[in-house]
């Protein structure tokens, strides 16, 4: 895999890479990893999103990287200032699982599925339709994206590795 | 609500003591179950930004067996008991005298092993919970325990999402209990994540003011 670095994105975090570097986030459960990229410019950004909507925030200085609506706006803005062209942006998604089967804290039921919906809705506002996604289910995922090839590698504990 | 990042020394001491008492009871239960001497580490109380929290638990995609109990009532929060898969197998084997019990078989959770594991961890996590309720004298209701064998990050982020609407930091009370005799050591970690809304209740219950 070449000379590039592997850039890691934490939870509620967002970063941009250019080829030959690759970008990775680990342990996605109900959180969702959104990759946006411009393949011919070989630039990509990854956001590790926790919650669907920033209107849920109950804090004064909200972290824009935490919510689907604000994180995707930021991601597009940062990509464009790093040489990506907005019309050429493509998306790949993974995550949004339901890790535990239960119904306790009612506003957080199906948070994974709600994250997936919120991301798709926000992307469609920007006229971006995801190229590929691996979402839902009940397993954790670690993902790695290579901006040179546009491939997203997904690893799980039980199902091994897959590429979308 | 107490801002997570500004805990006083006395508040930190109280939280450490909570970790001590909870894990102390769990260690006694584990000792009785395994009929072995169990060690306990001094609790670490730490406030970690989300960005770092999953690295902090020892690698986001480390496969673990994790048991989770939700607490509702006066002191909402979550208790986790997490072990590496092989350590958990050692624990269950020691307890049951069944040297071939497995937790994961051919890449899938083994039903018998998982059921034994659930029972064991339920006892340990319940000991922790009971000690917490006795110490604080608060009305606490535990959920049924939920088990998941998967990446540490995916399991833990479930609770982070719950508090993430109001904070970007997690308060973690981390205590490890371990059995180091024999060929295969077992080290189980308790993580108690109190809900930010619960801090003042927690401190008042043990007789200190919210602002220390």
| DSSP, residue by residue, B62-123 | -EEEEEEEEEEESS-EEEEEEEEHHHHHHHHHHHHT-TT--SEETTEE-HHHHHHHHHHHHH
The answer, yes or no, to whether residue B95 has pLDDT greater than 70, is yes
Residue B4's pLDDT band, with cuts at 50, 70 and 90, is: very low
Beta-carbon separation of B151 and A142 below 8 A: yes
Residue in this structure with the two tokens 């997203």, named with its chain if needed: A152
Is the separation of the CB atoms in A54 and A70 below 8 Å?
Answer: yes
Point out the residues of chain A with pLDDT beneath 70: 1-2, 60-61, 102-109
The answer, yes or no, to whether residue B63 has pLDDT greater than 80, is yes
Q: Which chain A residue is nearest to residue B68, measuring alpha carbons?
A: A100
ipTM of this predicted complex? 0.81
Q: Which residues of A are catalytic?
A: 31
- Residue A2 pLDDT: 57
A-to-B residue pairs, Cβ atoms closer than 8 angstroms: 111
Chain B residues whose beta carbon lies within 8 Å of the beta carbon of residue A140: 61, 150-151, 153-155
Mean pLDDT value of segment B32-43: 80
pTM of the model: 0.83
pLDDT tens profile B100-159: 777 777 777 778 878 888 888 888 888 888 888 888 888 888 888 888 888 888 888 888
H-only helix segments in chain B: 9-34, 50-56, 85-96, 111-136, 152-163, 199-205
Chain B closest-CA separation from residue A39 CA (Å): 27
- C-alpha separations of A60 from A54, A63, A153, B52, B169 in Å: 12, 9, 36, 21, 14
- Residue B143 pLDDT: 84
Chain B closest-CA separation from residue A50 CA (Å): 6
- Residue B160 pLDDT: 83
Q: b/e string for B2-19 if b means 16 or more Cβ within 10 A?
A: bebeebeeebeebbbebb
B165 in contact with chain A, both atoms CB, cutoff 8 A = yes
- Residue B1 pLDDT: 35
More confident position, B170 or A88: A88
- Residue B210 pLDDT: 58
Residues of chain B with pLDDT > 90: what percent? 0
Report the length, in residues, of chain A: 164
Which of B57, B144, B150 is most worth mutating to test chain A (most A CB atoms within 10 A of its CB)? B150
What's the mean pLDDT when you consider all of chain B?
Answer: 79
Supply φ then ψ for residue B181, to 5 degrees.
-70, 170
Residue in this structure with the two tokens 């020394």, named with its chain if needed: B9
The answer, yes or no, to whether residue B2 has pLDDT greater than 50, is no
- Helix (H) or strand (E) holding A75, with range, is helix A68-81
- Residue B148 pLDDT: 84
The token duo for B201 is 């209740």
Q: Which of B50, B107, B162 sits opposite A158 (nearest CB)?
A: B107
Query: Distance between the two ends of chain A, CA-based, in angstroms?
Result: 17
| Cβ-proximal residues to B117 (8 Å cutoff; 6+ apart), any chain | B65, B88, B92, B103, B147
Mean pLDDT value of segment B13-22: 83
- Residue B112 pLDDT: 80
Burial of B197 (0-12, 13-18, 19+ CB in 10 A): middle
The answer, yes or no, to whether residue B55 has pLDDT greater than 70, is no
Q: Is the dihedral of CA B115, B116, B117, B121 positive or negative?
A: positive
Beta-carbon separation of B165 and A27 below 8 A: no
DSSP one-letter code for A12: T
Residues of chain B with pLDDT > 70: what percent? 90
Q: Which of A29, A57, A104 sits opposite B157 (nearest CB)?
A: A29
The answer, yes or no, to whether residue B211 has pLDDT greater than 70, is no
More confident position, B160 or A16: A16
């Amino acid at each position: 895999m070449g000379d590039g670095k592997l850039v890691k994105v934490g939870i509620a975090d967002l970063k941009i890479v250019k080829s030959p570097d690759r970008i990775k986030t680990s342990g996605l459960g109900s959180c969702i990893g959104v990759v946006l990229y411009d393949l011919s410019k070989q630039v990509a950004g990854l956001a590790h999103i926790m919650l669907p909507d920033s209107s849920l925030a109950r804090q004064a200085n909200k972290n824009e990287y935490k919510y689907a609506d604000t994180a995707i706006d930021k991601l597009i803005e940062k990509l464009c200032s790093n040489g990506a062209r907005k019309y050429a942006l493509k998306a790949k998604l993974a995550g949004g699982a339901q890790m535990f089967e239960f119904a306790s804290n009612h506003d957080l039921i199906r948070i994974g599925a709600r994250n997936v919906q919120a991301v798709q809705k926000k992307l469609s506002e920007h006229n971006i339709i995801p190229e590929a996604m691996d979402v839902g289910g009940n397993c954790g995922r670690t993902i790695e994206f290579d901006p040179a090839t546009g491939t997203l590698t997904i690893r799980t504990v039980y199902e091994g590795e897959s590429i979308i | 609500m107490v801002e997570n990042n500004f805990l006083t020394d006395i508040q930190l001491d109280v939280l450490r003591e909570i970790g001590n008492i909870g894990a102390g009871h769990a260690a006694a239960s584990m000792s009785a179950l395994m009929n072995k001497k169990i060690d306990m580490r001094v609790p670490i109380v730490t406030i970690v930004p989300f960005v770092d929290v999953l690295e902090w638990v020892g690698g986001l995609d480390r496969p673990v067996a994790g048991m989770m109990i939700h607490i509702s009532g006066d002191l909402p929060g979550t208790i986790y008991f997490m072990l590496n898969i092989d350590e958990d197998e050692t624990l269950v084997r020691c307890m049951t005298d069944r040297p071939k019990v497995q937790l994961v078989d051919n890449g899938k959770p083994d039903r018998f092993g998982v059921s034994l594991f659930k029972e064991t961890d339920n006892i340990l996590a319940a000991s922790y919970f009971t000690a917490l309720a006795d110490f604080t004298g608060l009305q606490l209701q535990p959920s049924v325990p939920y088990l998941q064998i998967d990446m540490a990050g995916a399991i833990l982020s479930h609770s982070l999402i719950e508090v993430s609407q109001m904070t970007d930091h997690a308060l973690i009370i981390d205590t490890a209990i371990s059995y180091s005799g024999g060929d295969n050591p077992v080290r189980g970690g308790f993580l108690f994540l109190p809900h930010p809304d619960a801090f003042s209740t927690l401190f008042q219950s043990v007789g200190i003011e919210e602002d220390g």
